[in-house]
Each structure stands twice: as structure tokens, then as C-alpha cells.
Structure 1
């Protein structure tokens, strides 16, 4: 029998523990791969530029290729996972990434590397659309938020690990190939972990396959409101359904809050030495950038610890307003004392990263199972649009408008995120996944 809503088994069976551990590791590694391929490229790009005679323009394309791929891969793989199932996409996207990782060893010109990185980005887009949704659909409600938020920590770990590998191989002849190609090892491990992972029971319910779903629910001690999942099936095309009256609220919220978080983060993070130099830090700019990144890591770890304790809304909305004030203060007062500038940037880095833990939580919770992967894929694409816009326009604004007005634009983006979240963000802490999706578009849910 499927578990009743709001009940929990006092003991988790061995098969359930094994599956949850396997899914957690396979998904965390998949999330870390995004950070890994970006961090590795940053460390290897100077050597790549020399060996492959890369122009500044081509280097920019290579750097952006993964982001472009994620923009395309998120919605595409998300739609595929909602239509044909989670398991096939969970395996296919990592297999494509593995092929791309191996091909990096053999590139002979910049355009080959661009094409390969574009392919890998498409696979990473698929990873965002399927990894966290599948994990959420097997996660127990009592710690679902913390489990999903831990995926964001994996991104930071992957980024720093790749940068360390690139630094260690920087003096090795052809070391950049090994830096980029080292993701092959991670992909092999991740693919091995994904073998034998069952289909999502919630997805089976969304397709009306109740008998198969209840067998998995019983086997893995899942706490699922079967009737709600069956009632929330969606006959329309999942991408089209995102923009219907029923789901538009969730679509706007998920895409906007995620883009508003990452636009100033990627822009300021990418050009932080230039920003800090413009603010008068001079020789302390590099140290300030490193401190800012360190506080970001602490922030996302703190977000993971707080997501179940204080709730989703409190972790999202106040930090939006506080970080907006922090950037606005420097924007209006660019000649502020050094201690004020540093304090504002550290507050921004810490709280922005703390809220970013929710990018692996909220998009999974505000869409019903039938369109969850498509919704997450679309929100991922919007986040990458935000990241690309911020990274592209920030140096232009810095050079033409100056540091003060540029930071005021960043503050305005954060304030927009705060406004949208204040109006649209539901409180989903402690709710069954199907009930959380209903709460997101204002449907009353049973007390749990």
C-alpha cells in the first residue's frame, strides 16, 4: 500500500537507503560537473589561447559555449523527461557529457573546442532539468529542501576543484587538455552510479500508471499522496502548459527569481577585480575577490543549513532586499571608506549565495510532476540568459557609466527579484511535493 499523506515510516528499509544514497551522489556529482567545466576552462584558457592561436573574440565564444548549450539543453531535455520518463534522460545526458569530455583530448582548433563545449553545455542543461527533479521525487519531505540545496554546494566544490587541477597542470606541456579532459573520470563515475536507478514513481503516476508506481512506492518507502499526483496529470504539451493560467505564476516566479539572483552574481564575480579597483582598492582587489568568493561558499553552506529551519520565503526575500541595499549603498557612495566597501561586498556575496541554495529547491517544488522537468529546464534557461546578459553588459556599463551607476543597476535587478518573490513565492517547507506545487498557484492544500 502507498503511504498516507503526512505519515512517515519509522524505519527506512535497506533498498530505500541504498537508492536515496545512490541518487544523492549521482545528482550531486552531476551538479558539480557544471562548476567543474567552467572552473577548468578558466584555468586552462591562457594555455589554450597560445596553443590553438585563439583570438579574443573566439575565446569569448568558447567561454560562452557551455552557457549557450545549457540554455538550449534545459528546456529540450526537460520536455523529453516529462514526455518519455526521467530515467532515460538521467542516463543519456551524462553519456553525452562523457563523449564530449573524451573529445576534448583530441581538439586541434578553437572551433572544434567551441562545438564540443556547446555539446557538453547541452548535456549540462539536461542535467539541471532531470537530476534535481528526479532526486526531489524520491526525497522524503522532512529534509527535501536541505538535500536539494546541497546540490548548489556541489557546484562550488566542482568549480574550485577544477581550478585547482588546472593550476596544478598549468606548467605541464599540453596540460590544458588534461585539465579539460579530466571531467571524463567524473562522468564515468557518475554514469556508473546511475545504472539501475528506477523510473520516478511520481512520473509514472502522472502518466496514469498507478500499479507500477505503487510497487516502487512500497519498495522504497516513499511518502506520496497518490490521489493528488493522479489528479494533477497534464494532457497538454508540457512546454505549452507552462504558460497557461494555471501554471504561469510558477513559471514567472521560478525564471525571475533565479535570473535576478545570478545576473549580478556572475557579472560582479567575473569582473570583481576591475570593480574593486574602480572603487579604490588597487592592490587589494585580488585579495578582495578571493574573500568575496570565500564568503560565497560560506553563504551557500549556510543556506543549506537554514532552508528547513527558517523556511523558503525567509531565506529568499530578506536577502534580496539586504543585498539590493548593499549594492545601492556603494552605488550612491562609490568613494565610501574601504571598510564600508568591503563590508557591503561581503554581505552581498554571503547572502546572495545563501539564497542561491534555493535555485535547486524552489523550481522543483512549484511545478507538478507532469511538467516539473520542463519547468525546471525553462527556469534554468532563464537563469543562463540572466548570467549571459550580466556578464556581457557589465564591462560595457562599467566603462561607459562608471562603477556607481553600474552597481545601482545590479541593485535594481535584486530589488525586482525581491518584489516578484514577495508577491509570488509560496511557502513550501514541509509539504509533500504534490502539495507544494498546488500551494505555488494558490490551491488550498491539506494540513500536514
Structure 2
């Protein structure tokens, strides 16, 4: 059967449903990431008491999944570039399900650390597998929205984790049960991914032209998008190419931007209840914590809605400067009323989330197909180094260095991200993938 005949067997409605399904199962992976990283913050106190951990042990458990992501991102990207997006898209979820179930049975701090490390490896692979897959199927006119929706799902997972966690702890649920609730969405998502086709761009880059054209004609509606797939060249991708003359700018930008965006947010949001309580916002800061993360969710939703209208750079650069300013205010105005401190944290959460929505968009757009997986994985690893450091050191910094110094450091990180983005961030809105990666080589 010719590709034309195959294309004729799929209606526009079927292609829309496929794109919707793919968007949802990719976003589901980000939901799980947010949920796993958020849920631990609701029970970290109970874990610390039950397992007799120090403040350093508390930070290590909070950062365990992030450390796993550091390893899983590059590994998953390498496997996805070498063996294909499709098989890894399902296998990494299977690994996550195993780790999630094991949480029910841990009885020591080292067991919990290892289990959450395993889950982090699966989550890291998720970034470098699912984002390239989504990038390579999404139409150019909707690519940014489809990818940024995954970040919306991350925040829904993160906020949902706080709600579920605090609801269960209110009825004295065991912390193992609270952590293990991630098994439910993981199993549902695993089943939803079965049968997803291979990326036609990856197939084309491997010389499997007929198969690539068949899948593209079946599921990709826009002729221009299908034509752009045929421009893919068979080129080997190697890790060292990320730092070559052709690609070092893209690699530097996506890595530093992502690092500087998530590092202060993870540190503040993971321990938001205790942070806000430190500033006099309630006995335990619960309402403020949910508020901060809820506002962050609103910010990334706004970014998702605007991304195809105002462009990537407009949603990337100004917001980082806003984050830096409000953190400086929190740091230097020690006598500020608690309500003003809360307002500053809410502004930070909203602005930070707006630019965070672009961290899932840029890696797939600025890197070519042969480097899309490993490059996304490398940027994931770099970002999680920052997130892990921030999460691990934040309790110590607040205790030993004080809130003011801690917030000034966070503001400085935001400034670095803003400057690098101003210099290196390209405008990729609506452009064909082949054209973006080619422009970086000129």
C-alpha cells in the first residue's frame, strides 16, 4: 500500500485524537515526576522522625529522585537515540512502576534512598524519551503548546501531591502509603502508552525511509510537516557533538537556562511549608505552601496559552529578572509584613513557572534528531544537579546561613539564567525542526 493510500485511511478526527493521546501520555510522565518530587515534601518530617535521620539525611532523601534523574536523563536519551523512542517510552514507565510499588515496603533510610533513586532514573529517562517523541510528532504550529502542556501536567502533579499528601497525613496515614500513591497514575499511564508508534523522524534518520513515510502519512496531517521529515539526514549522533562548534550554543543555553530556572524553585517549593512558617505565615505554612504551588500552576498555564502567540523569548527572559527582584526584596527587607513576603513568594512562583514552561520546549527544538535524546538528557542532568544541590543544601542554608543569604543566592542564580537566555535563546516559534537545527550550524 502506498503512503498516499495509507494517509487516506485516517480522518482528520483520528489524527487529532492521536495527537491528543500522545500529548496526554507524554504529559502523564511529567505529572508523575511532579507528583513524586512533591509528595515527599508532605511526609519528610514523619520520615525523619520514624527513621531517625539528621538534617543532612532529610535533604538526601528529598534529593534522591533528583540524583536518579541526573543519571537517567543521559542514559535514557542515549538509548532513545540508539534504539528508538517507542520501546523506551514504555520500558521506563515499567521501571517506575516497580520502584513506586517498592515504596510500600521500605523500612530504613538507605532502602528509601535507593528506591527513590531508582524512580529518579526512570523519571530522568522520561524527559529524554518522551519530549523528543512529542517534538517529532507535533505540528510546528502547535509544537510549543503540546510540549509546554507537559509542564502544566508537572505542576498539576506537584500541587496534587501536596493536596493528597496533606489530606492523608491529616488522617495519620503511614508515610509509606503516602509515597506509594504514585503507583496508581503510573499503572494507568503505562497502559495508555501501549501501541504508540515510533517517531518517523528517528526512523528517517536511521535510513528506514519507507517505514518513516508510512507513519508520517498515517498520523501527521500537515503536508509541510511531513515534507520537513523527508529533509532528515542520516548522521550519527555522539555525545561529544553537543559541544562542537555547531551545537555548543544550544547545549549551553538549554542546560544553563534549565539549571537556573529549577534550582531555586525546587529548593523553595519542596520545603515551602517550613519556609513560609519561618517567615511567620501560619503555624506550619500549609495554606501558603499550597498557594505558592497553585500560583505556579497558574503561571505555567498562562505560558502554555501564550507560547504560540507571543513567542519563546518573551516568555523566557523577563520572567527570570522578575524572580531575581522579588527574591532580593525578601532577602533584604527583614522587617517586611508576612503578607508582603507571601506576595513576593507568589510573584516568584508565577514568574518562575512561566519561563519553566519553556524548559520542555527548547531542547527538542534547537537540537537535531540525532542529538535530541542525548542532548535533552544532558540538559536534564545539568538541571537536576542544581535541583538536587538546592534541595539537599536548602535546609542547611536556612539553618546555618540564614534566610536572607539563602534568598540572595537564589536571586543570583536567577540573574545568571536571565543573562545567558538574553544572549543565547533563539526564537523558534512556528519554525520547522530541520530549519532550526540547521540555523545553529551556520
**Same fold, judged at TM 0.5 (above):** yes
- Give the SS at the match of 2:317: helix
Q: TM-score, normalised by structure 1?
A: 0.88
State the Cα distance separating 1:336 from its structure 2 match: 4.0
Matched, 1:196 2:195: yes
User: In the TM superposition, what are the counterparts of 1:11-410 in structure 2 within 5 Å?
Assistant: 13-49=12-48, 56-170=55-169, 175-223=174-222, 224=225, 226=227, 230-237=231-238, 239-272=239-272, 275-276=275-276, 286-336=286-336, 340-410=340-410
Write out per-residue CA displacement over residues 16-65 of structure 1, whole angstroms, 9 at most, x where no aligned residue. Answer: 23321221221111111111222333334444455555555444333221
- Higher mean C-alpha displacement, 429-438 vs 329-338: 329-338
Measure, in 2, the Cα distance between the counterparts of 1:132 and 1:227.
19
Write out per-residue CA displacement over residues 41-95 of structure 1, whole angstroms, 9 at most, x where no aligned residue. Answer: 3334444455555555444333221111100000001011011100111011011
State the Cα distance separating 1:381 from its structure 2 match: 0.8
State the Cα distance separating 1:138 from its structure 2 match: 0.8
- Give the SS at the match of 1:309: helix
Change (3 A) 1:158 1:294: closer
> Contact 1:232/1:370 (CA < 8 Å) preserved in 2?
no
- Higher mean C-alpha displacement, 280-289 vs 291-300: 280-289
Question: 1:6 — aligned with what?
Answer: none
Measure, in 2, the Cα distance between the counterparts of 1:409 and 1:318.
19
Change (3 A) 1:29 1:280: closer
Measure, in 1, the Cα distance between the counterparts of 2:105 and 2:340.
49
- Give the SS at the match of 1:135: helix
User: In the TM superposition, what are the counterparts of 1:408-419 in structure 2 within 5 Å?
Assistant: 408-419=408-419
State the Cα distance separating 1:275 from its structure 2 match: 4.9
Change (3 A) 1:12 1:340: farther
Unaligned runs of 5+ in 2: none
Measure, in 2, the Cα distance between the counterparts of 1:316 and 1:215.
37
> Contact 1:323/1:411 (CA < 8 Å) preserved in 2?
yes
Change (3 A) 1:274 1:200: same
> Contact 2:63/2:391 (CA < 8 Å) preserved in 1?
no
Change (3 A) 1:104 1:272: closer
Question: 1:437 — aligned with what?
Answer: 437
Change (3 A) 1:235 1:164: same
Write out per-residue CA displacement over residues 280-320 of structure 1, whole angstroms, 9 at most, x where no aligned residue. Answer: 65769554444322321211111111111110000011111
Write out per-residue CA displacement over residues 403-437 of structure 1, whole angstroms, 9 at most, x where no aligned residue. Answer: 33332222221111111111110001111222233
State the Cα distance separating 1:374 from its structure 2 match: 0.8
> Contact 1:15/1:219 (CA < 8 Å) preserved in 2?
no
State the Cα distance separating 1:141 from its structure 2 match: 1.3
Size of the aligned set, in residue pairs, is 435
Change (3 A) 1:146 1:271: same
Measure, in 2, the Cα distance between the counterparts of 1:262 and 1:347.
15
- Higher mean C-alpha displacement, 188-197 vs 83-92: 188-197
Measure, in 1, the Cα distance between the counterparts of 2:57 and 2:28.
29
Write out per-residue CA displacement over residues 209-266 of structure 1, whole angstroms, 9 at most, x where no aligned residue. Answer: 22211111111134436567645543242x2211111111111000000111111112
Measure, in 2, the Cα distance between the counterparts of 1:28 and 1:106.
28
Change (3 A) 1:149 1:209: same
- Give the SS at the match of 1:142: coil
State the Cα distance separating 1:12 from its structure 2 match: 5.5
State the Cα distance separating 1:279 from its structure 2 match: 5.3
- Give the SS at the match of 1:170: helix
- Higher mean C-alpha displacement, 303-312 vs 162-171: 162-171
> Contact 1:76/1:126 (CA < 8 Å) preserved in 2?
yes
